[in-house]
Amino acid sequence: MGWSKVSGSNGDTTIVEADGRTSTEPDGLVITPAVVTDSATYICNVINSEGNREHRAQVNVVSQPNFKPEDVLLERDVEAFSGGKAAFACIAEGNPRPELSWWKDGAKIVPSERTIIFETNRTYQTGTSLRLKRAQSAEIGRYECRAENDLGSSQMVFNFDLKPPTLPQITIPPENLRVPIDSAVYIRCSATGAPEPIIRWTKNGRKFQISDRFVQTDDFLKIEQTKVADTGYYGCHAYNLAGKHSRRMRLTVWDPRVEREKSRELANARKKPDDNQRLLTALSQSLK
């Protein structure tokens, strides 16, 4: 005698194996404790020398809503930065499949421009998330995720509060650099703040496109295969909800070939001081 199980929307059949909840006895199949996902059609197959027989039994396990995972705290404290985003999520299962709703301080929440509700549904499971786009003092309070079906209801509670953001502070500012062409240069800039600041870069006061040559990482702006045209002032700007902090540096990219040519011209000019005083002065200035 063997047992198989037909479940899922595709009618997939699987062999029922003995485990901690399932056992095969002379009188039938025993599942304890039964959960809603055990709902399925079970097939008993009996085979002997005379042939085989099968018997089907439809099992429907009903349950009031309960939240998953099972060890989740049913009441928790949640904080977000003022003006920032916040999200709450809960997943409940039951049979019949529970309906979920969100409540704040005893009033049902209606989706709006600043309050968004997402839902996902499965056979015996429903998931929902509540997202606050720009949390303000009006959002402080007690939020409930309520799961209800014909057999009962369950609640998960979130106690929501705000905390003030702190201004960004650039702790490692970028430093002036002078590098030759066709080199790789790393401009470092680090900042602290709450929430963690986002770093953006500018060149000569204007935004520039991050590309294959300009690569931004957490603490660096990397410039590959530098060109003379990369010379300029680079600004590091740290942003968060509280504001921004900026520092800048100067990058000078020089061409050794040009420098050598200028040096030769300068040497020649020094040999003819009377005729080349103006050229000598100009070249000296350009090499500083």
Q: By three-state DSSP, how is residue 106 classified?
A: coil
Longest C-alpha distance within the chain, in Å?
A: 125
Is residue 55 in a domain?
Answer: yes
Is residue 14 in a domain?
Answer: yes
pLDDT level of residue 17 (50, 70, 90 thresholds): confident
What does the pLDDT look like over 26-51, one tens digit per residue?
778 899 888 888 888 999 988 887 77
Angle at 38 between CA 15 and CA 54, to 5 degrees: 45
What does the pLDDT look like over 75-91, one tens digit per residue?
789 999 999 999 999 89
Query: What percentage of the chain carries pLDDT values higher than 70?
Result: 87
Quote the tokens at residue 262. 């200028």
The CATH number for 245's domain is: 2.60.40.10
Is residue 265 in a domain?
Answer: no
Do residues 192 and 172 share a domain? Answer: yes
Is residue 170 in a domain?
Answer: yes
Mean residue pLDDT across the chain: 87
pLDDT level of residue 14 (50, 70, 90 thresholds): confident
Of the candidates 112, 153, 147, 105, the one whose C-alpha atom is nearest the C-alpha of residue 132 is 112
Is residue 267 in a domain?
Answer: no
| Backbone angles phi and psi of 73, in degrees to 5 | -70, 130
Q: Say how far apart CA 175 and CA 52 lie, in whole Å.
A: 84
Q: Say how far apart CA 233 and CA 201 lie, in whole Å.
A: 10
Least confident of 122-131, 155-164, 182-191: 122-131
**What pTM was computed for the model?**
0.68
What does the pLDDT look like over 196-246, one tens digit per residue?
999 999 999 998 888 889 999 889 999 999 999 999 999 999 999 999 999
Query: What is the tally of structural domains in the chain?
Result: 3
**End position of a domain, from candidates 163, 197, 214:** 163
Of the candidates 152, 87, 91, 78, the one whose C-alpha atom is nearest the C-alpha of residue 115 is 87
Is residue 269 in a domain?
Answer: no
Do residues 74 and 159 share a domain? Answer: yes
Do residues 26 and 48 share a domain? Answer: yes
Q: Which domain holds residue 234?
A: 166-256
Do residues 136 and 99 share a domain? Answer: yes
